[in-house]
Structure 1
Amino acid sequence: MTGPAGSKAPASSGVPSRLSRLLAMVPYFLAHPGISAADAAADLGTTPAQVMTDLNQLWMCGLPGYSPGDLIDLAFTEESIEVTFSAGMDRPLRLTATEASVLLVALRALIDMQGLLDTAAAQRAIAKVEKAVGTSIAITDEPAPPEPADASAGPMSTVRDAVRLTRAVSIRYYSASRDAVSERVVDPVRIQVVDGASYLEGWCRESEGIRLFRLDRIDDARLLDEKAVVPASPDSGATLALFNADPQLPTAEIEIDPSLAWVMEYYLIDPVADPEHASPDPDAPIAATMTYGSPDWFTRFLLGFGGRIRLQNEPDVARDVADRARAALRAYGDDV
Structure 2
Amino acid sequence: MSAKRTERLLTLVIMLLSSRRGFTKEELFEEIDLYREATSVAAREKLFDRDKAALREQGIPLEAFSEDTLFDNDNTVQRYRISAEDYRLGGVTFLPEEYAVLNLAAGVWDQGSLDSAASRALRKLSSRSSDGGTELTPLIQPRITTDAPYWDVVWLALTSRSPLRFPYRAASTGREEVRTIHPWGMGARFGHWYVVGYDTLREAERFFRLSRMTGEPAVLKGTFDVPASFDMNATLSSLSRSEPDRTAVVALRPGSCQVLRVRKDAEVLQTGEEWDTLRVPYAASSPMAATIAGLGVNARVEEPQDLAAQVARLLESAYEAALAAPHGLEITEGIRPVPRRKSSSQDHLLRLLDLVPYLLAHPGSEVGETARKFDVTESQLTKDLDLLFVSGPRHYPDALMDVNIEDGRIYLTNARDLAEPVKLSMDEACSLIVGLQALRELPGMRNNEAIVSAQTKLTAAAGDAAHIGTAVATKLTEDDIDPTLEVLQAALQTGVRVEVDYFVPTRDEITHRLLEPIRIFLHQDTWYLEAWCVDSDGLRNFRLDRIQSASLTDQPATANVDEASLARGRRSASPYRSGSSDHAVTLVLEPRARWIADQYNADAVEELGEDRLAARLRVASTSWIPGLVAGLGGGAAVVGPEDLREETLRWLQAARAHQRLA
TM-score (norm 1): 0.51
One-letter amino acid of the counterpart of residue 260, structure 1? A
* Offset of residue 171 of structure 1: 1.6
- Contact 2:518–2:532 (8 Å) recurs in 1: yes
Instruction: Pick from 623, 628, 643 the counterpart of residue 301 of structure 1.
Output: 628
Mapping of 1:31-110 within 5 angstroms?
101-110=430-439
Report the AA paired with residue 577 of structure 2: N
Within a 5 Å distance, the mapping from 1:170-209 to structure 2 comes to 170-195=499-524, 197-209=526-538
Alpha-carbon distance in 1 for matches of 2:97, 2:489: 30
Residue of structure 2 equivalent to 1:10: none
Offset of residue 223 of structure 1: 0.8
The code of the aligned residue for 2:542 comes to F
Alpha-carbon distance between aligned partners in 2 of 1:262 and 1:325, rounded to the nearest angstrom: 26
Match of 2:619 in 1: 291
Aligned ranges 1:199-238 → 2 under 5 Å = 199-234=528-563, 235-237=565-567
Rounded Cα–Cα distance in structure 2 between residues aligned with 1:148 and 1:287: 31
CA displacement at 1:245 relative to structure 2: 4.2
- Cα distance in structure 2, aligned partners of 1:216 and 1:125: 29
1:262 is matched with 595
**Alpha carbons of 1:109 and 1:270: their partners in 2 closer, same or farther (altered >3 Å)?**
same
Residue of structure 1 in register with 2:95 after alignment = 17
3-state DSSP class of the match of 2:535?
coil
1:216 is displaced (CA, Å) by 3.1
Distance 1:149 1:281, change over 3 A: closer
Distance (whole Å) between structure 2 residues aligned to residue 268 and residue 140 of structure 1: 33
In 1, Cα distance between equivalents of 2:601 and 2:511: 20
Map Cα deviations across residues 26-79 of structure 1 (whole Å, 9 max, x no partner).
xxxxxxxxxxxxxxxxxxxxxxxxxxxxxxxxxxxxxxxxxxxxxxxxxxxxxx
Where relative contact order (Cα < 8 A, 6+ residues apart) is larger, the structure is 2
Deviation of 1:103 (Å):
4.4
> Closer, same or farther in 2 for the Cα pair 1:245/1:175, shift >3 Å?
farther
Matched, 1:319 2:397: no
Following TM superposition, by how much is the alpha carbon of 1:317 offset from its aligned partner in structure 2, in angstroms?
Answer: 3.4
Structure 2 segments unaligned to the other structure (5+ residues): 1-92, 99-423
Which of 286, 310, 332 matches 2:637? 310
1:250-306 deviation per Cα after TM superposition (whole angstroms, max 9, x unaligned)? 6655333355332111126554xxx5xx467456652635637474x4333212222
What CA distance in whole angstroms lies between the structure 1 residues aligned with 2:609 and 2:561? 47
Contact 2:586 2:615 survives alignment (8 Å): yes
SS of corresponding position for 1:190: strand
Structure 2 residue corresponding to 1:118, chosen from 419, 438, 444? 444
Equivalent residues of 1:171, 1:183 under 8 A apart: yes
C-alpha displacement at 1:18, in angstroms? 6.6
Coordinate RMSD, CA, aligned: 4.8
Confirm whether residue 154 of structure 1 aligns to residue 479 of structure 2. no
Q: Percent identity?
A: 22
User: What is the Cα deviation at residue 209 of structure 1?
Assistant: 1.1
Where in structure 1 are there 5+ consecutive unaligned residues? 1-14, 21-95, 332-336
